[in-house]
Each structure stands twice: as structure tokens, then as C-alpha cells.
Structure 1
């Protein structure tokens, strides 16, 4: 990192970073749904050998200037990134095993004699960026910014087949706009708008192409922030995020030696709209509070199709408060809080189970896995034995609520949240 002050108002910066590493994995895990009668699932062999190199560079000039009686800020820069990743993997079914009394399979030879996946991925990006913060008036600030990507290239080389594919994206400018206005000495409103642009070059409509168009969208937010009292801050924000043309799988087909993915259609549509409310700080010198509530109307749709997943809950509430006694029971503090959320669900299609043949097959049927609304409560108490010694007890999930922290499919991805737990901590400083 190099930084040079040109004068009192302007400076230049140069940041360079090189990172390299590798890792290897030789293991096994159980996948797939558990058979009702045999209680068996499937052991899979998983082997991985990854090496990577990454170089990033960022150079900019930034500072302030006076114009029309106001001081304004400007930053202009260039950044570039180059990545190389050598990736080898084996993912192979080994056999059945009892999911409730698993006997691990024998350890695999490592490194193996061959790899199912053996590829090198290279990507190079370069762009210019800038941000101009204008102050038309003392209380008003207008921000104009953006990023112009003039290089975005990806190369995938399959060492097993010798095939190499390159994907180049068109030059693209992505703008950003924002403003802030001080309503009062302790209250400000703000707004921002940014475009979204995500390339999808390796996703093909047919085996011979073309590639899908990039994901396009926008991110809009505006809100208000205020200081209700000294050290007590409150904020209210409205947000709306939308993405269009996301890849939706039509079928999985082999494309010979190609490293592209087939076949997809750019029909995915995502929407996220809602409000976010926060209150943080001190109600009194001894009483601290943190409250956060988010309402998120989240949709993930195919074009002209119904919503098919909503893993993000519509309502999310987090409250924590802590009170420290100052006279009576001096040195003691007690606190508690709750994390609560509304229903979330995952839907999809799975093969039906035939109890006669003890097999899974046609027809495919729809499913919906749901986690109903739940709340997890926690408590904390602490005592300051001396200015240098403190003891605290945390009780998390005090009612031992059983819930899914994540939900996935019939085969995997369903994980219980943490059960009731206790943590006793003694801290000393000297």
C-alpha cells in the first residue's frame, strides 16, 4: 500500500495484493434421502485438490475542491483483478450405509490416479470508477458515481478433454446515484439508486448457443436517520431490489467437450421489497437497547409462473436489552432478547416412493418444506467482581425451541437450529 499527499486537499493511493494458496480434501459423506425401511442413505466419496493465485491492483486519486462557495469531493480510479484456479475433484457414489449408525468406508487413496473434474479457470477484469460528491447547499449533498468495466474475460480449460472455452463480456457502465439532506441538526434523509449487471456467458440456450444475456436490475433505497437522544439512534429505510433475466434451467444436457452449461432460458425474476427499522443506543446511562425489524416481500419467480421459493422470511425481529445496576446491586447487569421470524419454505419436485419395490421413481411429485414462525429467547447476567474481573452467564434458546435454521430439499440441506446452551465466562484484565 502506497499513499502520497499531493497537497492539503489531494492525495493518491496505490494498493497491490497477491494471494496464493492450495488445499486438499480426502473424505466421504452421506447424501440422499433416508430409506424408510432400511434406514439407509448413500455414501459418497469426495476428493478435492485446489490451487489458486489472485492479483489485485487499485490506483486512485481523491480529494476536495472549492466551487460556488462550497467544498466538494472527487475520487477517480482504476482497478484490475486476475484470478487463476486449478481445480480437481472426484464425487463418486460408494454404496449404502445406515444413516443412524454409520460405519465410515475405507480411506481412499490420495492423490487418486485420475480426476473426474480437472480444469483451470482464469478470469481477468479491469475497470475505471469514480464518485463525485457535490454540495449545492450546506444541508444537501448529491453523489454521482459509477463503474465502467472495459475488460471482463473468463477462460475455462478442461484438462481431461483438452477443450478450452473463452467468455468475453461487452464493455458496460454501471451508474450509482445518491443524495443526503439534513432536515435538522440531528436528523437526515437519504436516497440511493444503483444498477445491477451480472454476466451469464457460460449459460447457453441450446447446445450450440447463444449465451444468455446478463442479469439486469436495480437497487433502490431511501430512508431517514435521527438521534432521538444523546447516544440513541433510530433509522427507517425502504428498499427495493429487482433482478431480471436470471438463468433458469430447462434441461441438463451434455455438450461434448464444451465447458458451457446447457440448457437455460433467461427468464428468472427476483424481487425484494420492504422496510427496515432500527433503534440502537442508551435509553438511560444504565439501560442499553438494540431493536431491529425487517419486512421483506421477497419473490423468486419464473416469467409468467408462480412463486417457487421464499427462503427469506417476510418478518424478521431482533431485540436485545441490557440493564446495569448502579446503586442497588452495584456491579450486576441483566439482559435478554429474542430473535423471531415468520414462516419460510422451500418447494420443488421429487420422485415418488414405491413400497412394493422399495425404490424411488416416476411420477415426480411436488413438495413444500416449511419452517413455521418461531422465536428464540436468550438471557444474560453478569457481575463485575472488581474493575479488572468480570463473570458472565449466557443462556441461549432458554426454552429449547426446536426449529430449522435452514431448509433445503428431501435429500439434504435441512439443519436444526442450536438447542439450549449455557456459556459461563470469566474475564480478567491487568
Structure 2
């Protein structure tokens, strides 16, 4: 039992505080039981406790924390009794992490003043802001990254839904925090993802991005842990176009994630975590200008809506317009996000949110990579491939719900739901191309475009329910989680055509006559439904040895139909149904010290297929198996995370042509299941605060994918990538200035054409710089300079499209915090 928090109080307040303390002392056995350490520790700062603290007045929470940790907390009554409340704290925390969560937004900081003694005191006015909000969490981090000034997080649940640190999770995880997004001026999902080692991307004509990890394309994105999916053939892909102003952080788990996501490829999942209302008032406005008529404005207001703080709200708005370095190509974004959070009781919190986003693009980016004779092109970076009247507009509405219910003995029930509604409207004249094929004549410039009209409507409904908590077995505290998730996806896609158009790519000046009418061409409808039940547990055999075991059972249904609407057209239905598909999960973690651990894990995922064998039986789903081993370090009381991993991904049950056999009673080719492609790789990463005021996020990744014969696949993706971004806040009299910079390096890429030629891009590096100066405690100016040395390169290769990276450019942003 610990020493309770002590105070210097007047007589009447002393009686009140004594009564409160007595109540908590009576409950000490419960807190002591919940606080049994789940990991070894060498200091009280590093020791982790399993805490069960309900939302409460701050002094009650501090008293309970003192009892649970055995540490004495000293403070004065005017700081804590008058105005502040504390959030619920459930999960495994170090003492610094727990304090930082309880004190977030209060203006109170803490310091260790003796063995087992910590003193809480008000920060000098303006200090937290002057220090970029890093002082409060300089001794530990929780899940929320906003306001911490950190490049890492203390808690992540994307891989297993259990609240674990990055070090405790036996998979490769990257986190882009709110601070890094602000420092690097990362305003879109693709801006964020390309800063991660091991993540590469390409873009074909228009606004369709392909995001790759460990040899295949990511199709699962989560919003607050709720699964959403993307069907690339429809081009209605809002997840890669989202604005980042409403998100606190982005967590990327690499490798197979079947336990949490069900069907898919063994590449990873991207979880975008929204900002939430705060218990204390906070607000900012900012405006930025940049190259090529770039203008952006943001506003964010958050805080309590009633005096008790039990009802809180937040609103975020953003607007961006910009031209680009490409002729006749520009974009416009709008965002409005509102969320309410209410404490229905001391143990129940309800959240309701709505976000509305529009993304409008005029023209089309990209250039043809090669001519119809197979020779490589060499267009200027200002060249674009769409006519002046071409546009693509997407409107995305998300309705979200969250319910957190605290139960007895540290257990909790969580429910999260999301309803996504997306409309896409487009008129286009895409330069006609295909995989490895070109219609552009090198000698004459003759080319062909398809004049198309597209309208699409998509609805996604997602639900995730979990029940988790600790249990005691054989003298150790363990954790278990059970859950259910549901995904329903429907996309209705209509295409009209005005036929082909011939034009001269050399002289067309982005002018093609706009059609006056379109004829029906294609109706393409997709329906996906997936339900899954999962169970996982973290068993602590000793204070140093931990085993995570889990399994998921999934029911999956995919139905699509393509109907060609021209005379003589045909209907092409497709159906994939799987029931009771079991996906296992296993991870073993051994703590070498309180700061370092080694791990080994096995995860897998499945993907249904339509191929049939000679008897007509549909082949079993393709199974992606991810084997991974690594080392992780969590230093400086959790402010710095590092990792090194090696992995092997195998894809089994791949369909291979079964000689000349046909499916029985059919003219279709027969297939057989074989063990196929393998991806081998290395991931290295370092993220967080290296020294006071010095943040770093850097990493190296090597990934090679081969078929069964050892031939390399996906050469259009680099074998090796390196990412580095760092900032440093100058000390002493220069402490108003923060400087930073970084470099992104990609190894050689190539793509084979249908003309027995190969397009090759050598390795390249792109450097960037930033500087931020605090004009006063509230106002800061940030300058970002991208592509410092004006490197000429393709940012991605896809089909016969190449997308140039932006030339040297600059952005200036002014931000005022209230």
C-alpha cells in the first residue's frame, strides 16, 4: 500500500480530503490487486501498473494513483481542487504515463523531488506553450499524441486491440503523430504514408493512389479502429484522399493483420485516429500560403460545454485550394468535423461525431512513361495528361459513434461504429493506356483518349465491439480481449462514354472538345459483407516473458456484377463466399531489460479466390503467412522507441494453371493451388525524443518479393527505402526557434513494357527543411521548403503513367493558439 497524496489544506478542506482519502484507503486492496506489475522494472518511472481509475475529480484520481503505485504526490489545493477533473485511466501505464494522462490540459507539471516523492505545481504562465507543449509529457506518453510534442506514442491498440506500448507489441508498428504532421506540413493521407519506411506508392491516371507495404497493396483502412475497405476497380477511394486536420495520429501495422481485419493481403493496416474533445478549453487558427497558388486555412476549437466538464465538444474546419506545377491541374479541399463527448456516468462515456469532406480536382496529373515503340518518354514536369474541362469530385460523409463502459475490476466494454457515405462524380478524357501498353506515337505525337462520364455512390457500415480486462492466474496478472466486428460495403458505379478521341499529345495544349452527351457504357456494382469474432490473451508467464495468443473466425461474402450497356453487351457476375475461416495469431515477447525486448510472431490473413480445379471445386482462399522476429527498445521513459525486425511472408494456395486441363463440364481453364510468392525483408526504425528538444523519426526498409521460381516480382517498387525527419528546438536565448529537415531515399525502380523494353528510374533522394519561430507565447510562424535540391524524379510508376515529384517549393504557415 502506498502513501496517499498529501496536501497543505485549510481545516475544512483537510476534513474533506481526509474523508476522501479514507474512502480510497478502504479500496486499497482492490487498487493494489489491479496494480500488480505486468513487466519488470528497475525504477518507479519504468515500472508498469495495471490501473483501473474511473473518470473523477482530479484529487480523487491522484489519491488513487498514489495508492496504486506506492508513490507520494505533493501538491497544493488551489491547483487541483478548484477546477480540474481527470479522465478514466484503464490499462497498463508507467507512473509518468499515468500522471501525464491525468494532468493533460490542466497546466500542471510534475517533477521528482525525492525517492518515492513527486511534486505537482503550476507551470509558469505561457511555459507549456513556449516549450511546444512538451513539458507536461516530458516523462511519459499515453495514446493521444496531440499536445505532447512527441514523435511517438505510449499506447497502441491497432494490432491486437489491447492497450500495449510499441515495445510490447510483437509486430512492426509505425506512428505518425500530430506533432510530426504539423512540423512536416502533412495535410493528406498520402503525405503521411510516404514518410513511413517500408511504405511506397504509385498513382495511375487521376486520383487513384496505390499504397504498398511488404510487396502488396494495402486495401484496409481503419477509422478509430473500425474497418473500411477499398475496391480499386471503382476508383471511388476516399480513404487515400482524407484531410489530416481532424486526426490525432496515424498508426501503421505492417505484415498480416487478419486477427483484426479479416480478409485481405498480408501487408498491413492503416488506422487513422480522430481528435477528441478535451476537458480543458483549447483552440487554434492557422493559415498558410505556398508555391503554385497554395492557400490553406484551419480552425480547431475544443473544450467543455458545461461547467462540470461532463459534456465536451470539438469542431475542426479546413479549406485548401491550390494549383500545381502541372499545367491545368488544380485541387480544392473542404473539411468540417464536429464531435460531442459526454460522461453519462463516472464509468460511461459516449461520443457522437460527423465529418464532411469534399475533394475536387480539375485536370489530370501524370504523363505517359513510354511510346508505342517501347522507348521511354522525357516530358517536362509541367506536362499533364488531362483536358482543361476534366474534373473529379468526391464528397465523403462519416458518422461515428463511440461508447466506453468501465466495468468492475479493471474490465471495459467498448463499442465503435462508423457510417461512411461517398459520392463520386467525374468527366474525363484519360490518355488511353494499359499495363505495359502505349498508344502514343513517338514520331507524330498521335494519341488516343477515352471520353468518359462516371457517377458512383458508396456506403460503408462498420462496427467493432470489444470486452477486455485483466485476470489472475498462477500468481501473475494477465489480459484477455474478446470482440466482434462487422463490415458492410456497397458501391454502385455507372460509366457513360462519348467514344474515343484522337489528338496530338505534342500540340494539344490540354484541349479536347468537351462532349455534349454520353451513352451508357458500364454498370458495375460491388457488395462486400464481413463478420468476425476474435479472442486474444496476453499471458505473463513471468515478469519478463509474455505470450499473446489469438484467433479469429470470419464469414466473408463478395458479390459483384459488371454489365456492359452497349448493344450486344454482356453481364459478368462474380461471387466469393467463405464461412468460418480461422485466422490465428501468436507472439512471444521477452524483456531483456525494462527498456529492451526481443520478440517472435506469426500472423496470417486470407483472401478468397474464384479459380476452380478440374472437378469444379473453388480453390481454398489464398493464405498470407507472416513470420517475424525482432528487437525493440523503449528509452527515456517511453519518449523514444526503436525497433529492428526481419520477416518472411509466404502466400499459399495461389492459383496456378493446371496444364491443359479444363474444369469438368466447362470450357474454363482448370487451376491448382500451389505455394507461391515470398516476400523477405528488414525493417529498422527510430522515433521519438533523442535529447530534450530533439525529435527524430527515421527508418530503413528492405523488401523483396519473388515468385515460386525465385524471379523478382513488383520491380516497379524500390527494394530499399530510407526515411529521415528530425527537428531541434534551440536552447537558452534561442529557444523560440525550432529547425528541422530530412531526406527520403528510394532505391532503383523499373517496369517492363509489352515491347520488350524496360523503363528504369535510378535511386534518388529528396531533401527538405523547416524552421519555426515563436513570435510570442501564442503566435508561431513555420516555413517548409520541399525538394531542396530540385530533384527531377518520378514519385511513382503505374501502368503507363509516371507522376513527377514536385519541384522545389515552399510553404509559410502562421498559427495562433488561444
1:7-22 matches, within 5 Å, as 7-22=408-423
Distance 2:803 2:656 in 1: 26
Higher relative contact order (CA 8 A, sep 6+): 2
| Contact 2:576 2:609 (C-alpha < 8 Å) held by counterparts | no
What's the counterpart of residue 27 of structure 1? 428
> Which sits farther off after the overlay, 5-14 or 264-273?
264-273
- Find the residue that maps to 1:8 and give its secondary structure: helix
| Contact 2:417 2:462 (C-alpha < 8 Å) held by counterparts | yes
What's the counterpart of residue 99 of structure 1? 505
> What is the aligned counterpart of 1:397 among 767, 787, 794?
787
Give CA deviations for 1:302-345 in whole Å, capped at 9, x if unaligned.
x4373343233222222233333223645333332221122122
What's the counterpart of residue 145 of structure 1? 550
- Find the residue that maps to 2:791 and give its secondary structure: coil
- Find the residue that maps to 2:586 and give its secondary structure: strand
Q: 1:373 to 1:19 in 2, by over 3 A?
A: closer
Q: Is residue 234 from structure 1 mapped to residue 652 from structure 2 by the alignment?
A: no
| Contact 1:308 1:347 (C-alpha < 8 Å) held by counterparts | no
Q: 1:162 to 1:93 in 2, by over 3 A?
A: closer
CA RMSD across the alignment: 3.2
Give CA deviations for 1:268-290 in whole Å, capped at 9, x if unaligned.
83322222222233343243333
What's the counterpart of residue 797 of structure 2? 407
> Which sits farther off after the overlay, 44-53 or 327-336?
327-336
| Contact 1:73 1:132 (C-alpha < 8 Å) held by counterparts | yes
| Contact 2:687 2:697 (C-alpha < 8 Å) held by counterparts | yes
What's the counterpart of residue 125 of structure 1? 530
For structure 2, the 5+ residue unaligned runs are 1-401, 659-665
Q: 1:94 to 1:213 in 2, by over 3 A?
A: same
What's the counterpart of residue 768 of structure 2? 378
Distance 1:63 1:162 in 2: 51
| Contact 1:42 1:95 (C-alpha < 8 Å) held by counterparts | yes
Distance 2:451 2:684 in 1: 47
Q: 1:117 to 1:146 in 2, by over 3 A?
A: same
| Contact 1:300 1:310 (C-alpha < 8 Å) held by counterparts | no
Q: 1:266 to 1:61 in 2, by over 3 A?
A: same
Distance 2:477 2:700 in 1: 37
| Contact 2:607 2:621 (C-alpha < 8 Å) held by counterparts | yes
Shift of 1:140: 1.8
1:141-180 matches, within 5 Å, as 141-149=546-554, 151-158=555-562, 161=570, 165-180=574-589
| Contact 1:248 1:268 (C-alpha < 8 Å) held by counterparts | no
Shift of 1:178: 0.9
Distance 1:183 1:220 in 2: 21
For structure 1, the 5+ residue unaligned runs are 251-257, 351-365
Q: Is residue 333 from structure 1 mapped to residue 723 from structure 2 by the alignment?
A: no
1:187-198 matches, within 5 Å, as 187-198=596-607
What's the counterpart of residue 361 of structure 1? none
| Contact 2:536 2:548 (C-alpha < 8 Å) held by counterparts | yes
> What is the aligned counterpart of 1:219 among 626, 630, 649?
626
TM-score by length of 1: 0.81
Q: Is residue 84 from structure 1 mapped to residue 490 from structure 2 by the alignment?
A: yes
Q: 1:338 to 1:72 in 2, by over 3 A?
A: same
Shift of 1:391: 2.4
| Contact 2:452 2:498 (C-alpha < 8 Å) held by counterparts | yes
Structure with higher strand content: 1
Q: Is residue 388 from structure 1 mapped to residue 778 from structure 2 by the alignment?
A: yes
> What is the aligned counterpart of 1:182 among 581, 591, 600?
591
> What is the aligned counterpart of 2:678 among 264, 268, 271?
271
Shift of 1:214: 2.0
Q: 1:377 to 1:349 in 2, by over 3 A?
A: same
What's the counterpart of residue 41 of structure 1? 447
Q: 1:248 to 1:383 in 2, by over 3 A?
A: farther
What's the counterpart of residue 354 of structure 1? none
Distance 2:424 2:770 in 1: 40
Structure with higher helix content: 2
